[in-house]
Amino acid sequence: MPYSNQPTVTASGVEIPLLGFGTWQLEPDDARRMVREALRIGYRHIDTAWIYKNEKTVGDGIADAVAEGIVTRDDIFVTTKIWVEHFHRDALLRQAEESALSLGLTPDLLLLHWPKPTPALDETIGALNEAQEKGFTRHIGLSNFPSALFRQAAALSTAPLITNQVEYHPYLSQKTLIETARELGSSITAWSPLAQGQIADDAVIGDIAKAHGKTHGQVTLRWIIQQGVIAIPRTAKETRAAENFDIFDFELSAEEMARIHALARPDGRLGDWLDAAFQWDKDAV
């Protein structure tokens, strides 16, 4: 079994571990320490990006874990992203190669970080496919693409776009996009799954957590993966990395799931860098 028997979602035949470890805002040294520690705890999916300026030390953390016999390369799933300034063909291929070199491995998944109106989508999607053909990544996908654009990109792509990584947590609905991903045979990956820590003060989540003998963070991550959505929480603390991994031994009832869904609110979005040329899905404003 891949990924040490961890729960996965399958998108266009590709298995992706439902729980990953995020590395945004981790300083290079913290990234190395935390990635190695996350793999030791049991995470089998690591998320980084060129713009996080830590691909090299994320790669070092993975290499440390491999050297110590904690994991093998093929038992982990590694994602990185093409920054928006590299969307022309040549720049995209250059960065794809650079990212693989920095990581010290061919990533499993290479995403377009945020949609841009220029260059035209067909050039960028074509270049992303070329990056895969040239062996700079195993698979390709998107990040922060609203449904209409997600459909356009899927229609333009030769290879399947196996995920669309977007902000998703209890305070932001992504019902439309989750349905779009399902229709397209793709998947959704939730960034800021803990609403950047805001869930820690939530009374409803606290109530449910108490009933299960779990923490606010564990209930929130369970709510996400129980929908078949991938979650990639980030922490700079070893104890929290272990806490956030301990979500596979309990289940939320349909009623508990619904109570958390009901927390979505119109001002729930935390990070909005969508180009003015595009619009979010109506339920995710």
Report, as residue numbers or ranges, the catalytic residues. Answer: 52
Rounded Cα–Cα distance for residues 131 and 104 (Å): 16
Judged by CB, which is closer to ligand NAP: 136, or 245?
245
Instruction: State the minimum distance, in angstroms, from the CB of residue 7 to ligand NAP.
Output: 19
Q: Are 140 and 111 a contacting pair, CB within 8 Å?
A: yes
Instruction: State the minimum distance, in angstroms, from the CB of residue 28 to ligand NAP.
Output: 14
Antiparallel, parallel or unpaired: β 139-143 and 8-11: unpaired
Rounded Cα–Cα distance for residues 43 and 139 (Å): 20
Instruction: State the minimum distance, in angstroms, from the CB of residue 218 to ligand NAP.
Output: 7
Rounded Cα–Cα distance for residues 184 and 74 (Å): 26
One character per residue 118-147, x = contact with ligand NAP (rule: CB under 6 A) = -------------------------xx---
Residues 4 to 43 in contact with ligand NAP, rule: CB under 6 A: 22-24
Judged by CB, which is closer to ligand NAP: 17, or 217?
217
Strands ordered across the beta sheet of 77-82: 21-22, 45-47, 77-82, 109-112, 139-143, 161-167, 188-191, 230-231
**Could you count the other beta carbons within 10 Å of the beta carbon of residue 269?**
16
One character per residue 65-94, x = contact with ligand NAP (rule: CB under 6 A) = ------------------------------
Of 236, 257, 264, 274, the one binding ligand NAP (CB under 6 A) is 236
Tokens of 20: 């990953």
One character per residue 164-203, x = contact with ligand NAP (rule: CB under 6 A) = -x-------------------------xxxxxxx--x---
Of 37, 47, 55, 256, the one binding ligand NAP (CB under 6 A) is 47
Q: Distance between the two ends of the chain, CA-based, in angstroms?
A: 39
Judged by CB, which is closer to ligand NAP: 51, or 91?
51
Q: Annotation-wise, does 113 bind a ligand?
A: yes
Tell me whether residue 262 is exposed, middle or buried, using C-beta atoms within 10 angstroms of its C-beta: 0 to 12, 13 to 18, 19 or more.
exposed
How many binding residues for ligand NAP (CB under 6 A)? 29
Which residue in this structure is represented by tokens 């070893």?
238
Residues interacting with ligand NAP, by CB under 6 A? 22-24, 47, 113, 143-144, 165, 191-197, 200, 215-217, 232-237, 240, 243-244, 271
Binding residue positions for substrate? 113
